């Protein structure tokens, strides 16, 4: 959510930003906010005037009573009563107007960074850099679930009977590999100076609306029936929520956390062949990283975060590339975002395995995450990035480490987490 003062003073800049995100249907909302905001401030001014007048008249009544001027005092009391009735009306109107302004403001997209490429959707995202040599072996690579099945590592049929489509049983060495990747990612991030955390896996609605847009909320979140609780779609939600309504001393910044959690997502819509198996699912586990920092430091932290993911994948010898998300592919709260994509030898192309985002002060403004410094209080900046999400990462891992004899090579960094195994057979 952008600062309403900025919108009030720079409506054309806000409209231009909306155009860059190809959300022209939201353009009239800017003028609507300005109108409602002006009415709200006018209402507040009248209410403040009545409150000040009430205090003045109350003193006058006391003086008149002391002088024995009861009839004049009664007239003043009647004036106070009339003003009180009007004040109640104004306060109700002010509350209603503020709620309308806030609701609309939460649909206005954040101001994107000037460096963001302009484009309508993810087909216009821009490749930044490739890391590692993408290799296509001279033998056929099966679909990832077939590789897992050959290793007795997955049971989709039983999962469908138990929970439906979009779920899975991981078994044996594949399940162990899944846990090994999570454990390695945890230690990797601790080694980079991040504090490890296991957060709540459910959050309240005020946290949900604080960390994401209404559209994202509807497409992703599962609500717990009868309670004000939602299952998290990523631990970023509860990790940023940890700082809700807090004032952080400037010297305590940055806050750098890495978290493990299961994640739950609706994943609405039909998906093609390449998104079956464990690519797009309702439940998965993930290691995440978040940063809460001073505004001037968020560009630096953005670069450090996505590089962490690149370094993690390269340490496991998986080729990756980074893509910068274009304006139309950015969620409304994001200022700038990079996707990290892993090489798929089977598809002979890259696919997304992580996403790094700088949200500026949008989440902090919604959740009231403030910083106290020498120059007073201000909103923090928040960033998040996927360290690794093993189900999808396993696809890249299996395809890039599959051998001609059907075995799967285990990179050296993972061997200690796999009991010393060098191959899955």
Last residue of a domain, one of 105, 132, 153: 105
In tens, the pLDDT along 69-98 reads 666 766 666 766 777 787 888 889 989 999
C-alpha span between 126 and 129 (Å, rounded)? 10
How many domains does the chain contain in total? Answer: 2
Residues 85 and 161 in one domain: no
Domain match, 197 and 335 both: yes
Would the CA dihedral through 16, 21, 22, 26 be positive or negative? negative
Q: Is 242 left (phi over 0), alpha (psi -120 to 50) or beta?
A: alpha
Q: Which CATH number covers residue 344? A: 3.30.930.10
Residue 113 lies in a domain: no
Residue 117 included in any domain? no
Distance CA 324, CA 287 (A): 22
What SS3 state is found at 88?
Answer: helix
Same domain, residue pair 61 and 140: no
CATH classification of the domain holding 40: 1.10.287.40
The answer to whether position 115 is within a domain reads no
Whether 126 and 95 share a structural domain = no
43, 100 in Cβ contact below 8 A? no
144 and 223 assigned to the same domain: yes
pLDDT at residue 52, rounded to an integer = 73
95 shares its domain with 140: no
For residues 97 and 158, membership in a common domain is answered with: no
The whole model's pTM is what? 0.89
DSSP string over 11-22 = HHHHHHHHHHTT
Q: Is residue 58 part of a domain?
A: yes
Q: What is the pLDDT of residue 64?
A: 59
On whether the CB atoms of residues 134 and 344 are closer than 8 A, the answer is: no
Least Cα distance to 395 among 292, 294, 268, 280 occurs for 280
Q: Is residue 116 part of a domain?
A: no
d(CA 233, CA 266): 9
Do 209 and 267 share a domain, yes or no?
A: yes
pLDDT value of position 22: 97
Neighbours of 329 (CB within 10 A): 21
Pair 22, 85 in one domain: yes
* Cβ-contact 408, 179 below 8 angstroms: no
Give tens-digit pLDDT for 116-142: 999 999 999 999 999 999 999 999 999
For residue 387, give its domain range: 122-424
User: What whole-number distance in Å separates Cα of residue 103 and Cα of residue 132?
Assistant: 46
Considering the domain boundaries, does residue 248 fall inside one? Answer: yes
Same domain, 155 and 212: yes
Q: What does the alpha-carbon distance between residue 297 and residue 360 come to, in Å, rounded to a whole number? A: 10
For the chain, which residues score pLDDT lower than 70?
A: 53-71, 73-77, 79-80, 268-276
Helices 27-66 and 70-105: crossing angle in degrees, nearest 10, is: 160
Q: Looking at the structure, tell me whether residues 316 and 357 fall in a common domain.
A: yes
pLDDT tens for each residue of 173-230: 999 999 999 999 999 999 999 999 999 999 999 999 999 887 788 888 999 999 999 9
276 in any annotated domain? yes
pLDDT for the residue numbered 270: 45
In a domain, 114, yes or no: no
Residue 401: name the closest of 314, 318, 332 by CA: 318
3-class SS of residue 370 = strand
Q: What is the DSSP letter of 334?
A: -
């Amino acid at each position: 959510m952008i600062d309403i003062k900025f919108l009030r003073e720079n409506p054309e800049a806000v409209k231009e930003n909306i155009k860059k995100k190809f959300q022209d249907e939201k353009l009239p909302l800017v003028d609507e906010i300005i109108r409602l905001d002006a009415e709200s401030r006018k209402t507040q001014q009248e209410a403040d005037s009545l409150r000040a007048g009430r205090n003045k008249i109350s003193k006058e009544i006391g003086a008149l009573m002391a002088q024995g001027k009861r009839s004049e005092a009664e007239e003043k009391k009647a004036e106070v009563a009339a003003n009180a009735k009007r004040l109640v009306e104004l306060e109700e109107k002010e509350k209603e107007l503020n709620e309308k302004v806030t609701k609309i403001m939460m649909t206005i997209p954040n101001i994107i960074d000037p460096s963001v490429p302009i484009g309508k959707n993810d087909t216009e995202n821009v490749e930044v850099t490739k890391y590692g040599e993408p290799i296509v072996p001279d033998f056929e690579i099966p679909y990832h679930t077939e590789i897992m099945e050959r290793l007795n590592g997955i049971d989709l049929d039983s999962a469908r009977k138990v929970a439906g489509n979009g779920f899975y049983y991981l078994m044996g060495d594949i399940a162990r590999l899944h846990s090994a990747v999570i454990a390695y990612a945890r230690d990797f991030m601790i080694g980079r100076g991040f504090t490890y955390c296991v957060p709540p896996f459910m959050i309240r609605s005020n946290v949900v609306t604080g960390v994401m847009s209404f559209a994202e909320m509807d497409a992703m979140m599962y609500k717990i029936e009868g309670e004000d609780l939602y299952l998290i779609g990523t631990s970023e939600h509860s990790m940023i929520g940890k700082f809700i309504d807090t004032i952080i001393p400037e010297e305590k910044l940055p806050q750098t956390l890495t978290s493990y959690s299961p994640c739950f997502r609706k994943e609405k819509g039909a998906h093609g062949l390449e998104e079956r198996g464990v690519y797009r699912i309702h439940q998965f586990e993930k290691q995440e990283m978040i940063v809460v920092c001073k505004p001037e430091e968020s560009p630096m932290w953005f670069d450090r975060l996505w590089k962490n993911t690149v370094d993690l994948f390269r340490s496991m010898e998986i080729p990756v590339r980074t893509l910068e998300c274009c304006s139309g592919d950015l969620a409304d709260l994001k200022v700038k975002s990079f996707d990290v994509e892993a090489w798929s030898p089977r598809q002979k192309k890259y696919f997304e395995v992580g996403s790094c985002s700088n949200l500026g002060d949008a989440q902090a403004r919604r959740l009231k995450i403030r910083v106290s410094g020498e120059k007073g209080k201000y909103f923090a900046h928040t960033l998040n990035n996927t360290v690794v999400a093993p189900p999808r990462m396993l696809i890249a891992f299996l395809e890039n480490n599959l051998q001609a004899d059907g075995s799967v090579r285990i990179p050296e960094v993972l061997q200690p987490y796999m009991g010393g195994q060098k191959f899955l057979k």
